[in-house]
Amino acid sequence: PIVGYKNDVVNTLRLWSARSSEDFDFDYFNSGDYEQAVYQKIFSENISKVLYPNDSESCGRELRLKQEYFFTAASMADIIRRYKVENNDLTSLFEKMSIQLNDTHPALAVVELMRILIDEYFMDWNKAWSVTQRCFAYTNHTLMPEALECWSVELFEKVLPRHLQLIYEINAYFLKEIKAHFLGDDERIARMSLVQEGEQKRIRMAHLSIIGSHSVNGVSRLHSELLKQTLFKDFYDLYPERFNNKTNGITPRRWLLKANPRLAGLITKSIGNNWITHLEDLKKLEELQEKKAFRQNWQKIKEANKQDLAEYILKTTNIKVDPQSMFNVQIKRIHEYKRQLLFAFYMIAQYLKIKNDPNSFKQPRTFMMAGKAAPGYAMAKLIIKFVNSIGDLINNDPDVSSKIKVIFLENYRVSLAEKIFPASELSEQISTAGTEASGTGNMKFMLNGALTIGTLDGANVEMAEQVGEDDIFIFGLKTHEVEQLKIGGYNPMQYVGQSPVLKEIHKLIKNNFFAPDQQGLFDPILHSIFQIDPYLVCADFDSYCRMQDVVSEKYQDREWWTKKSIINVANAGYFSSDRTIREYAHDIWGVECD
């Protein structure tokens, strides 16, 4: 049961678990093969043991496909079961049910519903397809082409042969439609097909999600525009009416009321408690920024939250951090496009600055990073190791550790996030422009009074509009500039040659400075950033450092910083998940809500 907030509503979240139909095979047991006797039970129940197994090997990919089908099939069966309690006519299913595909992982639900309608209820194919399309809507969560799921036809034939047959039928129906629409444009037709031709034929799950749905949305305004202009342009040309935007949001009940009770209490005392369900009421805080007593209370709350986090860090890492330093934080999934390496390079730059001229360093900082890497993502794991190595160097250098610290907080999870967000002062949202779909961590930082340094990417664009560009630290190339630079032939070493600090960082990594006992450990980073640099770390580095200098200068004016912190919270109302869900309900699901 999922309880709503003071609205007399309790929803049900169904958690599916695989169970074997045969727990024990006595024939194998009696013949002495004890492992085989329980093999079927173990094999079956593995499906729901670990979500998203490592798919870098074929066995992992097979388990993942089975897992995706298991969860979608269980959910679809349950939806049909509940519908049939009071309704017999499945041709009206879409009038009672709306199914939102959250990225491509549940895309098999489109085919599963077709299978149910055709095979189990003997519905006409065309009618089944019409019902299916009107039931489903698709939310895309990534601009990374490589993140759009594709499954080999060979694997489909092995695991889901009937579903593959239906996919071929859907594709034939779809190709007939687009051939009439884009007469003679064979390249476009090949791009849009559900089946990617080549040495190994693959099924494009994003394409299945688009053509099997009546609505396709991105999760920030920039993201949705880029979907239409780049990733799904062919489909937008065909179905412009299907595409829309639903900017992500976060729940204020968890991320402010529960996570930051001190700040929530001050806000409620000052403007009442209506903000809890109507986050736009936070706008009333703007007029309070000029009141000295209110600013002092705001500062005291931030200091208390920082002290709590400092104690947690000491307890879990045995590293003592200075609560009076700026808490500068990046927490998100570890991925090259999110540019944890840009943040890491800035840590190194500050280390070099202190070593070269200790008196020039004015603003102590505690750099914090948290996040998880996908099991098969070797570079992401190496980035975590790299940041920890930087931390080992800085935290154990007496010349430096009194001014800066580097903390990698392990096992990032919601309960840890609830400690980090309230204590944070500078939020790192530094993905390459045009790569982040939206982000929600940026909103959680904002709601807890952190200021943002970031690129004009994802929801940062809308955050800058809400709070005002003077109250957010924007740096780096814009989306169109990124594209122009790549088209013109980007050479990262050109930027290294122009930046003495970047040149020194390159030299240190090359000379194994951060891993003296493991020669060549960070060579993949050296190659990725200084030879290829797909996410333009080198191109944005100097701009980033200049903006960080502005941050340090501004932070020393505590009154200015506190005012901007209040302004950030006051303008976070738009990013409530209540607003997001209202838009989904009204625009996509056809449901009115209060």
pLDDT of residue 26: 67
Picking from 195, 216, 246, the residue at the C-terminal end of a domain is 246
pLDDT of residue 29: 66
332 in catalytic set: yes
Q: What is the mean pLDDT of residues 362-388?
A: 97
333 in catalytic set: yes
Q: What is the mean pLDDT of residues 553-565?
A: 98
Bridge partners (DSSP) listed for residue 90: none
Local structure of 363: helix, strand or coil = coil
Q: Are 137 and 215 in contact (CB under 8 A)?
A: yes
pLDDT of residue 359: 87
pLDDT of residue 54: 82
494 with 518, same domain: the answer is yes
User: Is the confidence at residue 519, as pLDDT, over 90?
Assistant: yes
The pTM (predicted TM-score) of the whole model is 0.95
344 with 195, same domain: the answer is no
Q: Name the DSSP class of 324.
A: T
Q: What is the mean pLDDT of residues 414-434?
A: 99
285 with 299, same domain: the answer is yes
Name the CA dihedral angle for 468, 472, 475, 481, rounded to a multiple of 10 degrees.
-30
278 with 209, same domain: the answer is no
Residue 36 belongs to a domain = no
510 in catalytic set: no
471 with 519, same domain: the answer is yes
Report pLDDT digits (tens) over 95-130.
999 999 999 999 999 999 999 999 999 999 999 999
pLDDT of residue 45: 84
Q: Which of 41, 61, 141, 191 is catalytic?
A: 141
Picking from 212, 227, 246, the residue at the C-terminal end of a domain is 246
Residue 59 belongs to a domain = no
334 with 468, same domain: the answer is yes
Q: Which of 247, 366, 440, 479 is catalytic?
A: 440
165 with 273, same domain: the answer is no
Q: Which of 228, 295, 302, 332 is catalytic?
A: 332
Instruction: For the chain, give the percent of residues with pLDDT over 90.
Output: 90
509 with 555, same domain: the answer is yes
Q: What is the mean pLDDT of residues 199-228?
A: 98
292 in catalytic set: no
338 in catalytic set: yes
User: Is the confidence at residue 455, as pLDDT, over 90?
Assistant: yes
pLDDT of residue 37: 65
Q: What is the mean pLDDT of residues 220-240?
A: 98
pLDDT of residue 147: 86
264 with 195, same domain: the answer is no
Residue 139 belongs to a domain = yes
Residue 75 belongs to a domain = no
| Per-residue pLDDT band at 14 (split at 50, 70, 90) | very high
Picking from 206, 224, 246, the residue at the C-terminal end of a domain is 246
CA distance 406 to 393: 9
Q: Are 444 and 417 in contact (CB under 8 A)?
A: yes
440 in catalytic set: yes
pLDDT of residue 24: 65
Residue 549's CATH number: 3.40.50.2000
Q: Are 369 and 347 in contact (CB under 8 A)?
A: no
Residue 358 belongs to a domain = yes
116 with 130, same domain: the answer is yes
509 with 408, same domain: the answer is yes
User: Is the confidence at residue 34, as pLDDT, over 80?
Assistant: no
Q: Which of 338, 339, 365, 403 is catalytic?
A: 338
Domain count, the chain: 2
| Per-residue pLDDT band at 23 (split at 50, 70, 90) | confident
pLDDT of residue 283: 99
Q: For residue 153, give its domain range.
A: 86-246
Side-chain-side CA neighbours of 212 within 13 Å: the count stands at 32
| Highest averaged pLDDT of the listed ranges 9-18, 36-45, 150-159, 351-360 | 150-159
190 with 276, same domain: the answer is no
Q: Which of 333, 381, 478, 579 is catalytic?
A: 333
Residue 53 belongs to a domain = no
User: Is the confidence at residue 337, as pLDDT, over 70?
Assistant: yes
Residue 527 belongs to a domain = yes
pLDDT of residue 197: 95
